[in-house]
Amino acid sequence: KAGVTQTPRYLIKTRGQQVTLSCSPISGHRSVSWYQQTPGQGLQFLFEYFSETQRNKGNFPGRFSGRQFSNSRSEMNVSTLELGDSALYLCASSTSSGTGGNTIYFGEGSWLTVV
Amino acid sequence: AQRVTQPEKLLSVFKGAPVELKCNYSYSGSPELFWYVQYSRQRLQLLLRHISRESIKGFTADLNKGETSFHLKKPFAQEEDSAMYYCALSRSGTASKLTFGTGTRLQVTL
């Protein structure tokens, strides 16, 4: 079974630009969540989508947005990039967003550098 | 607000020595606790969760609600245990929304 796939793996953007990152979950997984990882703040939850609906949201500004398609693939977008947005963005998928034994599988991440 | 604290950034032990990676949490309800591990050049992966009460790769962790701790233990460290370990918490019913600690790098030396 293929794992969580994220594209692109590496990208460099300029301040003020926008970026879109893509995530393909494991087949059959309907929940996709996104995390930002930085040396200073560690791993922080961005948002989670389940069946095309945002189910949970972290404490990030509105510049960070996401969506999920009917095939469970997800994208996240960051508009008006700032230097502080430089980070590793991780996508994770699971069978559902409920409790009780769901294993969350992470992708390798997309490395974003803002210059 | 929920919080996970891993007090040690780096833990260095000799091969064969016991390992204990500390994790404390603050949460007002009933949390679900997890340990994730990231080996060199690999993706973050689940090591174990408290509800399973299982031992994975010789590691165990017991949820102590009185002390709000979920320390990870292994009686005899192996070289292949060297990795970054993250403790994480989720609110019951939101298993996909994890609050992570800052991580502890375990270094097992000969």
Q: What is the largest CA-CA distance in chain A?
A: 42
DSSP state letters, B24-79? EEE-SS-EEEEEEEE-TTS--EEEEETTTT--BTTBEE--BTTTTB--EEESS--G
Residue A31: strand, helix, or coil: strand
pLDDT given for residue A101 in this prediction = 58
pLDDT of residue B56: 87
How many whole angstroms separate alpha carbon B75 and alpha carbon B64?
19
Mean pLDDT, chain B, whole residue set: 92
pLDDT in tens, B41-94: 999 999 998 877 788 899 999 889 899 999 999 999 999 999 999 999 988 766
Instruction: Give me the residues paired with residue A110 across strands.
Output: A89
Interface contact A53, partner B, CB < 8 A: no
| Alpha helices per DSSP H over chain A | none
Mean pLDDT for all residues in chain A: 92
More confident residue, A12 or A94: A12
Is B27 part of the contact surface with chain A (CB cutoff 8 Å)? no
With CB atoms and an 8 Å threshold, state whether A42 touches B52.
no
Percentage of chain B exceeding pLDDT 90: 70
B96–A56 C-beta distance less than 8 A: yes
Cβ contacts (< 8 Å) between B43 and chain A: which residues?
Answer: 3-4, 106-109
Chain A neighbors of B45, CB-CB under 8 A: 105-106
| B5 vs A96, more confident | B5
How high is the pLDDT of residue A1? Answer: 66
Confidence of residue A13 (pLDDT cuts 50, 70, 90): very high
Q: Phi and psi of A83, rounded to 5°?
A: -55, -35
Separation of alpha carbons B84 and B23, rounded Å: 14
Task: State what percent of residues in chain A have pLDDT above 70.
Answer: 94
Residue A100 has pLDDT above 80, yes or no: no
The residue of chain B with its CA nearest to that of A109 is: B43
Contact A99 B32 (CB under 8 A): yes
Model confidence at A97, pLDDT cuts 50, 70, 90, reads: low
| B32 neighbourhood in chain A, CB within 8 Å | 99
pLDDT digits over B86-97, tens only?
Answer: 999 988 766 678
In terms of Cα–Cα distance, which of A106, A95, A96 is closest to A23? Answer: A106
A71 Rama sector, left if φ>0, alpha if ψ -120 to 50, beta otherwise = alpha
Q: Is the Cβ pair B103, A106 closer than 8 Å?
A: no
A112 neighbors A53 (Cβ within 8 angstroms): no
Cβ-based burial of A106 (10 A; exposed 0-12, middle 13-18, buried ≥19): buried
Contact A99 B103 (CB under 8 A): no
Using a CB-CB cut-off of 8 Å, the residues of chain A touching B95 are: 94, 97-100, 102, 104
How far apart, in whole angstroms, are the C-alpha atoms of residue B103 and residue B34? 12
Q: Round to whole Å and give the CA distance between A37 and A67.
A: 20
Residue-level pLDDT at A84: 96
pLDDT tens figures, A43-71: 999 999 999 999 889 999 999 999 999 99
Q: In this structure, which amino acid lies at residue A105? A: Y
| pLDDT score of A99 more than 60 | no
> A109 forms bridges with which residues in the sheet?
none
Separation of alpha carbons A47 and A79, rounded Å: 16
pLDDT of residue B54: 81
Whether residue A14 lies within 8 A of chain B, CB to CB, comes out as no
